[in-house]
Each structure stands twice: as structure tokens, then as C-alpha cells.
A = this chain, B = another copy of it.
Amino acid sequence: MRLGRKTDFFLNGQSESASYHYYFRKAIRMSLTLRSGFSFGGALSMLFPADKIKNEQSFLENTDEYWMSKALVKSMENASIANPNPSVGCLIVKNNELISSGCTEIWGGRHAESIAFSRLSPADLSGSTVYVTLEPCTHVGKQPPCIELFKNKGIQKVVIASKDPNPLVAGQGLIKLKEMGIECVTGVLINEVQAWLAPFFVQQKHKRPFIALKWAQTLDGCLADDNNGWQWISGENSRKYTHWLRQKYDAILIGVGTLLNDFPSLDIREIQHPNKRNPLKMIYDPFGKIFQCDKIEQEKLKEKTFKEGTKKIIFINSSVLAIEKSKKNEWLQSIIQNKDFLIVPLGEQNQPQFTKSLLESFLGKEIEDFLGRPLQSVLVEGGGRLLSAFIEEKCFDLIHIFIAPFFLGGEKHKLFSSAQKGFLSYPLKEVSTVQRYIMKVQEKLGEDILIELVQNEMN
């Protein structure tokens, strides 16, 4: 499957501003209320033993929901390697026993159904029930249509969580299954599956990457203490979930301030996953501060954030880049020559739409070629200023927030803090007119609480 990259709005001749807002208002429109024990990271039981999750949902054995929850867990196995295909799970159940299962392979590889079916004879399949998280496909992409697998096998029932948003499939799979005389049930755990596949849905519908924001904060909204001490705000389970999100999303974006304060590795640790891989690392550095680093900072970067074996992108204003190049900056030269790096020049940007040029670049062929596949999703991890800008400009599909149960009382590391006025500042908000968000998830993870917000009620 080849994903379109043209956007509705940046390139369609509407005035930029109008289309820009249209774009975000339309962001996601699914009607989600997630059950306990589920989040946009999938079924939490995959990440945590049941006693570590406060609100875990358990289903009665052998119900459709019970098997679909297992299909969702199965679908999480190939998170990040199936992208930009949806990571789908398929289970085949006969006489209340699981007889086969599959998860979408690496991009271009086999679909979940294909793997699950390949292990079984027609005799095995006869009288079975197939659970699949997404409607089987009906079109020829990199793989033959999955729907053909279901023909003449004596399959009794197919249970589907969600229809495929791809207009080439969109309900066609369901129609064909019914024509084959197979009983179909749809909508089982639809919200949980659509949340898990939200990056795929957004990309299909809006032809642009899914943007998620993530941070950990205290109850009084501090992202760190005022001493810039580098200490975890959140607890062990929250960090585990963060590392899981790094597995789920294609790329991590941070601001240069966070880079040079924390020198974060941005790698995936803390989780066991069969396909663990480090995400693409993106640094937003409009004024080229990276290239002003002294030798000590350069070495720290090389050891940590810029260490070998992962891909890195630096976003910099094109005028700043031109100046740095003219200076024959050695550190810049070595980065330009390093094939693990991509430097993306940004058009000049002004408030209040500083995210716009970044988003335009996400859609470009340069990043797709560098990554080796279309960029499906970006997780913005900080700092406070960058996050505030994404929020202020309504430039996100989802926010993951960990709230740790204590107070710091500081003022430097808060979202929208006046202490951050140097870089970006926003008009004072009032309760009566402020933008309110919708909380789709609230789960106790260890000592913290995870909440997940979207901008609009989905339909």
C-alpha cells in the first residue's frame, strides 16, 4: 500500500490560515470512550502485569470481546515495524480454543490474516471463528487481497473490530464476507482498536503524520524543578509506557533547549519487545544552537543523543543554516557528511504558526527517503516551550500526560509559563473562552496517573 502525501490544506490553494485551522479541527473524528485497561498505547496488560494496573478490564472467557482483546494484544507485536501499514492482529478460534494467530509483518510483508491462515488446513478452518482487528483488505497492494483467504473454507463467523478507513477497502471486505455466507460481527472493541491504530487512521484520512505530545508533570504543572535538576518526575510504570510509545511512534521530536540541558538518549529501554528498535530522533533547532556547541558538548551529544546507529534529523531555519555553512563550521560539516543525519532547512516562521513549516517538512519526500518509509507519526517529548507551541497552535492529535502526585512550586518549567517568554509567549487565557480538551483515558500507572486528551469529540 502506497500512502498519499499530498495534503488537503497546505497545497490546495486555500488561504494558508483558513486551511491550517480547518486541518486541525478535522484532526480525528472517532467516537471513543476507552475501557479501563486500554489506552492509545493499546491493551495495558501487554505492558504491565495486572496487579500494576489499577483499572484493568477483564472479559468473560470465550466472549467475542475476550478474543478480540487478545487479537489487539497480538497486533501490538509488530508496532513500529509494520508502519505505515496498520499493525493488525488476527486470531483463529475453534471450539473455544485458539488454533492460530498472526500479526502484520514488516512493511511490505504479509498481513495478519495471511500468517494466521497459512498455518492451517481447510479442515482446521472449517467451523472456526476468525477475530481480526481491522476489516480484511479487498485490493491488491504489496500483498494479494486478504479477502480471498476466506473463500470456501467453511469459516463460521468473522468478528471485526473496525472497518478499514482506506477508501479502497472501506466496507468492501465486509460485503464480500457476507456474500460468502459468513456470519459477520463488527464493532467489537472498536474504540480500543481505533485508539491503537489512531496514527494509521489519521494518516489515511488526512494524508499527514499523526502528532502526539507527551510529558510528565507534577500536580502543579511543573515538568522539572527550578534547579534544572535532571530527575524523574514520573514513576517506573510511566517511564515504561513512555518507552513503549517510542516503539509505537516513528519519530521523537524535542527542542534544542531540552537537547542541550538533558542530553537525552531518546532510546527505547525499560520494555521487552520482540521488535525493539530506536525511533528516528528529531531536534527542533531554528537558530542553530547545536552548531554553537563547544567540544565538551559535542562529545556528550555523540555519546548520548547523537550516538551511532540511529537516524537523526535537525530542523533549522534556512537563513541560519546558510550563515553556518558560510562560516565553514567543522562540527556542522561533520554532521552534513554523516549519513545518519539529515538537516532539514525550514522556511522562516513567525508566531503564531511556527509549527507550520515543521509540519510541511514532515510531509516532504526528503524525510520519507531518509527514513525509508513514509513518516506516519511523531511524538513530541519536550521541552515546555515546544509543547506549549504545539498546544497553542492546536497542532496535535493526542496528548499523553503522566501526572505524578506531588507539588514543586517552581515556575521555570511549566507549560505556558511566563518564565518562558523569551522564545514564545501567548496571550493570557480566560476560563470562559479557553479551549477545553476531551479526556479519553485515565489510568493509574503505579504511583502516577496517565491521562490522554484529544481536541475534538470524534464521530
Q: Write out, one digit per residue, whether chain A residues 205-220 have a CB within 8 A of any chain B CB (1) or not (0).
A: 0000000000001111
Query: Contacts of A430 on B, CB cut-off 8 Å?
Result: 225, 227, 229, 231, 408
List CB contacts (< 8 Å) of A218-232 with chain B: 218-222, 224-227, 229, 231-232
**Would you call B449 and A229 a contact (CB within 8 A)?**
no
Tell me if A233 is interfacial: C-beta within 8 Å of chain B: yes
Q: Write out, one digit per residue, whether chain A residues 21-36 have a CB within 8 A of any chain B CB (1) or not (0).
A: 0000000000001001
In the bound assembly, the distance between CA atoms of A36 and B429 in angstroms comes to 34
In the bound assembly, the distance between CA atoms of A439 and B439 in angstroms comes to 19
Tell me if A204 is interfacial: C-beta within 8 Å of chain B: no
Q: Write out, one digit per residue, whether chain A residues 387-411 have a CB within 8 A of any chain B CB (1) or not (0).
A: 0100100000000010111111111
Tell me if A241 is interfacial: C-beta within 8 Å of chain B: no
Known: A219-B221, A411-B411, A411-B418. A436 touches B229 (CB 8 A): no
Contact of A220 (CB < 8 Å), options: B232, B408, B415: B415
Tell me if A284 is interfacial: C-beta within 8 Å of chain B: no
**A421: shortest Cβ distance to chain B, in Å?**
11
**Would you call A409 and B428 a contact (CB within 8 A)?**
yes
Main secondary structure of the interface of A (DSSP, over half): loop
Q: Write out, one digit per residue, whether chain A residues 54-92 have a CB within 8 A of any chain B CB (1) or not (0).
A: 110000000000000000000000000000000000000
Query: Contacts of A407 on B, CB cut-off 8 Å?
Result: 391, 415-416, 429, 434
**Would you call A224 and B436 a contact (CB within 8 A)?**
no
Tell me if A437 is interfacial: C-beta within 8 Å of chain B: yes
Query: Contacts of A453 on B, CB cut-off 8 Å?
Result: 405
Tell me if A296 is interfacial: C-beta within 8 Å of chain B: no
**Would you call A54 and B432 a contact (CB within 8 A)?**
no
In the bound assembly, the distance between CA atoms of A227 and B427 in angstroms comes to 12
Q: Supply 28 A–B pairs (Cβ within 8 Å), ascending by A.
A: A36-B54, A36-B55, A219-B221, A220-B414, A220-B415, A220-B416, A221-B221, A224-B431, A225-B428, A225-B431, A226-B428, A229-B431, A231-B430, A231-B431, A388-B409, A408-B430, A408-B431, A409-B415, A409-B416, A409-B426, A409-B428, A409-B429, A410-B429, A411-B418, A436-B447, A439-B449, A442-B444, A442-B449
> Which A residues are closer than 8 A to B by beta carbons?
33, 36, 54-55, 217-222, 224-227, 229, 231-233, 388, 391, 401, 403-411, 414-418, 426, 428-432, 434-439, 442, 444, 447-449, 451, 453
Q: Which 7 A-B pairs have the closest CB atoms?
A: A409-B416, A221-B221, A231-B431, A220-B221, A405-B437, A406-B436, A405-B439
